[in-house]
């Protein structure tokens, strides 16, 4: 058999495989018959379902569809049935009333890299292991005494941000707000976890680390055929799980080195090397065999907090500063409050946060307009259920469309406007009890990182505006600032905000 014949035969076999996979995909993706009526939704096309109706910004396209089909809507992505919840009433049904039925997670194929889903608090099914890991987060890593005890090291990172803003002010440098927020968030997280910063404001030192996070965000935000057609999962046809494994490997390797160094210090000088950070607490907790916490568990818990907290907090900071710069009257109110409470010269402290209601309103309004996870982390129903008279079958993926809820004009007057004042006379908070504002989710799956995010976000936004005025980069007017969002693991600004700080 010559080379040309061999190539033809290989092409034939490839064609047979593709046709077979498509046929099987069609078989599994075909609409199924259910004993009761599903929630209403747009017609799903053969094989692909409603995938092509998502577009580049699914938060907007799905919200538009929900206006036609209602607050409980069904969509089909390949063979995956998805139900979208788009009102506070329906969110309360799913996240509170029937939380026990809807508490499992849909685990995207990429997040199975390094078996992260078998350890991560975000993805573990509710059960004894999940409760144990959740307890570690709440009582060991993110308890109030633990966070109070580490506020001094976070203050040093806030001082580094202030110093960088001051230097840019003196030189008239145009700075990337999102990048500065990212670096500060990474360092606030890392000093809280293991008492050391990992990046600085030098561009070259930061590039590699930022590339890892941007790649993770990109991979997480891409539609994955393996999720929509489970038949394709073993093949990883888009290579997304492979890419996630590569980046997870980089971060886990870094944590491995930090943990090994800490253990060496502890063996060299027991007691004297104690830093009283999260890593010390986790290592001490893991020594008790009854807690069943391995070194691999420790690394993945650190990965959970590092990945989930850093990108989302820095993105929210950039959105908050953007909105304030676009609304000088709101910026003036926030600055005046800071000057009254904090004074003209000293830095913002974590202990100042309860005395800054307008800054808190700015944060809440930013979460409302720009929720970092527009659909939260998708859930998966583990048994048939009925909600609002509609049948939801076992295995269905659940989106809670907080982006739509946060912009619903029935709930929020003038919903597209940035108006922090709406929260000054309201008790609505973002900690999971108020279903009109759900940036962190609700119920037993509410994000455990709220206490740390709360501290970091207020400190960063306060530092950006307290002693600085701002002007946009040359040639850009307020009207020209792009506020388009980019869909991904976190909802970033598509075009980074660049501006020049002016010391006041």
Condensed to tens digits (0 to 9), the pLDDT of residues 36-46 reads: 799 999 999 98
Count CB atoms within 10 A of the CB of residue 195: 17
Contacts of 48 (CB under 8 A, 6+ apart): 29, 77, 78
CATH superfamily of 31-503: Cytochrome P450 (1.10.630.10)
pLDDT in tens, 137-160: 888 899 999 999 999 999 999 999
* Range 60-86 average pLDDT: 96
- Residue 388: name the closest of 99, 70, 103, 106 by CA: 70
Find out whether 499 and 326 touch, Cβ atoms under 8 Å.
Answer: no
CA gyration radius, the chain: 24
Contacts of 249 (CB under 8 A, 6+ apart): 114
Q: Specify which residues 371 forms β-bridges with.
A: none
At 123 the pLDDT is 94
At 221 the pLDDT is 77
At 229 the pLDDT is 87
Can you spell out the DSSP letters for 1-28? --HHHHHHHHHHHHHHHHHHHHHHHHHH
- pLDDT: which is higher, 218 or 303: 303
* Range 58-86 average pLDDT: 96
Within 13 A of 48's CA, how many CA atoms are on the CB side?
7
Assign 271 a pLDDT band (cuts: 50, 70, 90): low
Find out whether 210 and 294 touch, Cβ atoms under 8 Å.
Answer: no
| Encoded tokens for 226 | 């393996």
* Range 368-397 average pLDDT: 94
pLDDT in tens, 429-486: 999 999 999 999 999 999 999 999 999 999 999 999 999 999 999 989 999 999 999 8
- Residue 396: name the closest of 4, 93, 10, 34 by CA: 34
At 11 the pLDDT is 47
Helices (H), 195-239: 203-221, 225-228
Lowest mean pLDDT among 6-15, 176-185, 331-340: 6-15
How far is Cα 281 from Cα 283, in angstroms, rounded to an integer? 6
Assign 272 a pLDDT band (cuts: 50, 70, 90): low
Find out whether 243 and 109 touch, Cβ atoms under 8 Å.
Answer: no
Lowest mean pLDDT among 219-233, 396-410, 450-464: 219-233
Whether this model's pTM surpasses 0.85: yes
How far is Cα 431 from Cα 402, in angstroms, rounded to an integer? 14
* Range 394-408 average pLDDT: 97
How far from 98 is each of 1, 95, 384, CA to CA, in Å? 64, 6, 12
pLDDT in tens, 102-130: 999 999 999 999 999 999 999 999 999 99
How far is Cα 122 from Cα 120, in angstroms, rounded to an integer? 5
Please check the confidence at residue 380 and state whether its pLDDT lies above 50: yes
Please check the confidence at residue 22 and state whether its pLDDT lies above 70: no
How far from 359 is each of 362, 364, 406, CA to CA, in Å? 5, 9, 19
Please check the confidence at residue 293 and state whether its pLDDT lies above 60: yes
CA-based end-to-end distance of the chain: 81
Count CB atoms within 10 A of the CB of residue 54: 17
Residue 447 is assigned to a ligand binding site: yes
H or E element: which one contains 398? strand 397-400
- Residue 375: name the closest of 223, 225, 482, 495 by CA: 223
- The domain ranges of the chain are 1-30, 31-503
Please check the confidence at residue 353 and state whether its pLDDT lies above 60: yes
pLDDT above 70: percentage of residues in the chain: 90
């Amino acid at each position: 058999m010559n080379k040309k014949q061999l190539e033809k035969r290989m092409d034939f076999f490839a064609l047979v495989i593709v046709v077979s996979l498509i046929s099987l995909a069609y078989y599994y993706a075909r609409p199924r018959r259910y004993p009761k009526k599903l929630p209403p939704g747009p017609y799903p096309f053969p094989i692909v379902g409603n995938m092509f109706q998502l577009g580049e910004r699914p938060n907007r396209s799905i919200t538009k569809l929900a206006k036609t089909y209602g607050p409980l809507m069904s969509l089909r992505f390949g063979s995956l049935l998805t139900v979208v919840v788009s009102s506070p009433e329906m969110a309360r049904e799913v996240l509170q009333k029937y939380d026990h039925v809807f508490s499992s997670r849909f685990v995207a194929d990429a997040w199975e890299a390094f078996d992260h889903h078998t350890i991560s608090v975000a993805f573990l099914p509710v059960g004894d292991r999940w409760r144990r890991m959740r307890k570690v987060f709440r009582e060991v890593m993110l308890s109030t005494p633990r966070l109070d005890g580490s506020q001094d090291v976070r203050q040093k990172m806030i001082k580094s941000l202030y110093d960088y803003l001051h230097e840019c002010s003196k030189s008239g440098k145009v700075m990337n707000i999102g990048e500065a927020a990212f670096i500060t968030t990474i360092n606030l997280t890392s000093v809280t976890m293991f008492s050391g910063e990992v990046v600085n404001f030098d561009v070259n030192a930061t590039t590699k680390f930022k590339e890892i996070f941007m790649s993770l965000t990109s991979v997480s935000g891409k539609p994955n055929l393996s999720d929509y057609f489970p038949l394709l999962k073993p093949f990883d046809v888009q290579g997304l799980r492979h890419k996630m494994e590569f980046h997870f490997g980089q971060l886990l390797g870094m944590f491995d080195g930090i943990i090994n160094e800490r253990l060496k210090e502890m063996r060299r000088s027991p007691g004297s090397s104690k830093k009283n950070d999260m890593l010390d607490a986790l290592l001490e907790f893991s020594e008790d065999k009854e807690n069943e916490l391995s070194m691999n568990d420790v690394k993945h818990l650190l990965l959970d907090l590092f990945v989930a907290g850093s990108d989302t907090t820095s993105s929210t900071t950039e959105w908050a500063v953007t909105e304030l710069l676009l609304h000088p009257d709101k910026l003036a109110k926030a600055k005046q409050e800071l000057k009254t409470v904090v004074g003209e010269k000293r830095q913002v402290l974590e202990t100042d946060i309860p005395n800054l209601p307008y800054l808190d309103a700015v944060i809440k309004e930013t979460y409302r307009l720009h929720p970092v996870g527009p659909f939260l982390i998708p859930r998966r129903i583990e048994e048939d259920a009925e909600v609002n008279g509609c049948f939801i079958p076992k295995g269905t993926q659940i989106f809670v469309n907080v982006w739509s809820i946060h912009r619903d004009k029935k709930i929020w007057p003038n919903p597209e406007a940035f108006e922090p004042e709406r929260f000054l006379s309201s008790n609505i908070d973002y900690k999971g009890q108020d279903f009109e504002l759900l940036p962190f989710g609700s119920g037993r799956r509410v994000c455990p990182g709220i206490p740390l995010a709360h501290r970091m976000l207020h400190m960063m936004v306060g530092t950006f505006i307290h002693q600085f005025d701002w002007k946009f980069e040359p040639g850009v007017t307020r009207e020209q600032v792009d506020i388009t969002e980019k869909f991904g693991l976190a909802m970033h600004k598509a075009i980074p905000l660049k501006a020049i700080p002016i010391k006041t």
